[in-house]
Structure 1
């Protein structure tokens, strides 16, 4: 089921008009692609909470504009430098027959049962949190799952290990050998082991220095 959001056509344009619009708890925006660009406005609070939903950023959205629905993708949005206020938002119309290029979040599964964590005491480090993909709108996943259940200590899951949904292809700068996640020994454990080894060496050296010197061999 598509995520729905409502908007109305924005008649007043320009910096001053956008500033006045924001004072009324509305957000200026634009819908472009597959025809003429349309200036729109949306309710700020509804949009703000929608943006907190991860799926809103990587899903086909149903935008109701002046009572008519159209399929769109979120392409960009700007936030106020220090206020929790959406300043502007961009949507792109979707053609069901044309592939789209998107960044999709990764969902990591079974980290707690990975041998490197459960047995080795390591911690998971996420090298990538999203992948760039290309697919038809109907095949667009809200997220891609990465199974970490077989990850050993000191090993990594690579891009080539990620199982992509049907109809989805990698795009952008990704290479098969790129690490997606690794399991490493916690830094504190490494430092503790190094300190223990140093203490053992120091103790051994001290013991050697305190031992009595060997008696010289008797002359015949």
Structure 2
């Protein structure tokens, strides 16, 4: 994804307020072997980009003054109640150095799992993103969690995920990713039906 920014010379609260009044958002690019650079971005374009999942977990091509750098979105601040992005931070990316980033999880095939089809279970997503480490070229836009074989009462753990080549999870724990639990009402109805069957 490509992002266009402009050099920002003025610093301070007043300068930032003037920028926002002019429809721009102040930001900064840092990291690597070069000094931090203050920038300004078109607010509306940035606001809509932030709604896209890929903008948060992809290497971005950030163009400033005709020069393009590879960066990651690292942080952004929004107004407490207005639809306003107050500031944004980008980190330079070195193709030869591993990056540490959160990537969204996409849950698939829940409807065909034994837990849902046969057990009447409800699958709950315990976490929706995963901390990973990889080289920039190996960064996935998302990681798929296949729920097709999950049984009622079972859980999906980090060890069950098929991580893409070159990608490792940062956590040393075998995190719980999702659970398949049978609702209490459903369990009672099933037990009653079973008891009724035995009574005949």
2:62 equivalent in structure 1:
63
The alignment of Structure 1 onto Structure 2 pairs a total of residues equal to: 193
Q: 1:45, 1:56 → 2: CA distance?
A: 14
2:42 equivalent in structure 1:
43
Contact kept, 8 Å, 2:108 with 2:145, in 1: the verdict is: yes
1:142 equivalent in structure 2:
141
Q: 2:184, 2:9 → 1: CA distance?
A: 57
State the shift of 1:186 in Å: 2.2
Q: 1:123, 1:190 → 2: CA distance?
A: 12
User: If the length of structure 2 is used for normalisation, what is the TM-score?
Assistant: 0.92
Kindly provide the CA deviation profile for residues 58-109 of structure 1, in whole angstroms up to 9, marking residues without a partner as x: 1000001111111000000001000111010000011001000001110111
> Runs of at least 4 residues of structure 1 off by over 4 A?
190-194
Contact kept, 8 Å, 1:159 with 1:174, in 2: the verdict is: no
Q: Unaligned regions of 5+ residues in structure 2, if any? A: none
Q: Does residue 27 in structure 1 map to residue 33 in structure 2?
A: no
Q: Unaligned regions of 5+ residues in structure 1, if any? A: 201-220
Contact kept, 8 Å, 1:151 with 1:157, in 2: the verdict is: yes
State the shift of 1:189 in Å: 2.7
Kindly provide the CA deviation profile for residues 134-168 of structure 1, in whole angstroms up to 9, marking residues without a partner as x: 11000000100110000000001110000110001
Larger Rg computed on CA atoms = 1
**Aligned-CA RMSD value:** 1.7
User: If the length of structure 1 is used for normalisation, what is the TM-score?
Assistant: 0.84
